[in-house]
Amino acid sequence: MAINSILHPTDFSDLSGAAFAHALRIALAARSKLHLLHVEPHNTCSAQAFPQVRQLLVQWGFAEEDEPSWVIASRLGIEVDTTLLTGQEPTQGILGFLRDSPSHLTVLATRGRDGLECWLNGSVSEIVARHSAAPTLFIAPGATGFVSQINGEVKLRRALVPIDFSPRADKAIKTVALMGRLLTGAEISRVAVLWHPGAYGKRTTEGLLNETKSATLALGWQFQLVAAENPSDLDVAFSAITAGSPDALVLLNSPMFYTEHKHIVDLAAKSQLPAMYAAREFADAGGLMAYGANLPEVFRSAATYVDKILKGAKPTDLPVQQPTKFELVVNLTTAKALGLTIPASFLSLADELVE
């Protein structure tokens, strides 16, 4: 996997300036082509020559104020092109550009709209991310991110990747790991995965394990798979995990793990392991963070199935429905206890912060 082309849509705002810093720093590290795109709904545009580009390059010491563009380009060692589209709606303009010129990564600012504001004004970044085939890096309001606009310094120590049955996690894991290697040279060396044999059918279990294992091994990580068949196995399982000295713990979802969530969270805290869970109850109980389907919403959906069956519907005629509501919960108290500083850009994506 490589990042050979990066797209940065910009509206020339200060927030877009922070996103541009990240796009440029990643492009320099990956030696990739950088596309800068501005979409103007009207037929006139007051912005001239993408002013943030030269300003940032001068600030980082890559250019002088009055140097010709070709001199700067030769010093950078990467290709940077600019495209201005007028008379188009921004979302459609960006997606159209991606269709014509596919990129391996899109970096853009988001205004962090949610609720009524998002419904009224829409979200360009959300629509672009949902309809783009490329991974998307968001820079949220108030976020400093991991690249300094002042000097281009990278401060990236740990990356957290939520995983679940769907969507597939391998692409996200590979992209984050690649960015980490390019920007810092750092490597994750070992990942522990705690799983419950027999929690699901053979096909589902094998698919989940194979996907997780293939993603980690493809990145050169050591893969420590630890099983716990019963609650009484958890203490022994965590002893085995701790003995392996992993950099992170991934917990594959299981009904038994959910029932024992308080015990598991306590064991992870005792082991000083940053752990990612698939249900918010883990974060509420003191786990670092959780991302997954909202279980009360799932149970309500199940009730509609029961209602339809009681009214005469055949179970075989009812469609299989995937969860539609997911939530990210971060426990800031636990992060502090583990000595972790979670970027504001990541916290802005959380549905709830536990303090």
The whole-number pLDDT of residue 161 equals 63
Structure-token pair, residue 120: 């009224």
**Does residue 165 carry a pLDDT above 80?**
no
CA–CA separation, 235 and 263 (whole Å): 9
Q: What is the pLDDT of residues 233-252, one digit of tens each?
A: 999 999 999 888 887 788 88
Q: Which of 301, 302, 277, 300 is nearest to 290 (CA)?
A: 277
Cβ-based neighbours of 103, under 8 Å, separated by 6 or more: 5, 6, 7, 35, 134
The whole-number pLDDT of residue 234 equals 94
**Does residue 46 carry a pLDDT above 60?**
no
The whole-number pLDDT of residue 245 equals 83
Structure-token pair, residue 34: 């950088």
Neighbour order of strands in the sheet with 275-277 = 222-227, 190-195, 248-251, 275-277, 289-293, 326-331, 352-354
Model's pTM, two decimal places? 0.52
Read off the pLDDT of each residue in 189-209 and give the average, rounded to a whole number.
85
CA–CA separation, 200 and 258 (whole Å): 14
Question: What is the percent of the chain where pLDDT is above 90?
Answer: 18
Cβ-based neighbours of 70, under 8 Å, separated by 6 or more: none
C-alpha separations of 181 from 26, 30, 136, 154, 174 in Å: 11, 10, 18, 12, 11
The whole-number pLDDT of residue 78 equals 83
Strand partners, 276: 250, 289
- 296: cis peptide before it, omega within 30°? no
CA–CA separation, 191 and 245 (whole Å): 9
Identify the weakest region by mean pLDDT among 67-81, 268-282, 341-355.
67-81
Q: Which domains does the chain have, with CATH numbers?
A: 5-139 (3.40.50.620), 170-354 (3.40.50.2300)
Question: What is the percent of the chain where pLDDT is above 70?
Answer: 83
pLDDT class for 150, splitting at 50, 70, 90? confident
**Does residue 47 carry a pLDDT above 60?**
no
Read off the pLDDT of each residue in 132-156 and give the average, rounded to a whole number.
81
Query: 34 and 78 in contact (C-beta within 8 Å)?
Result: yes
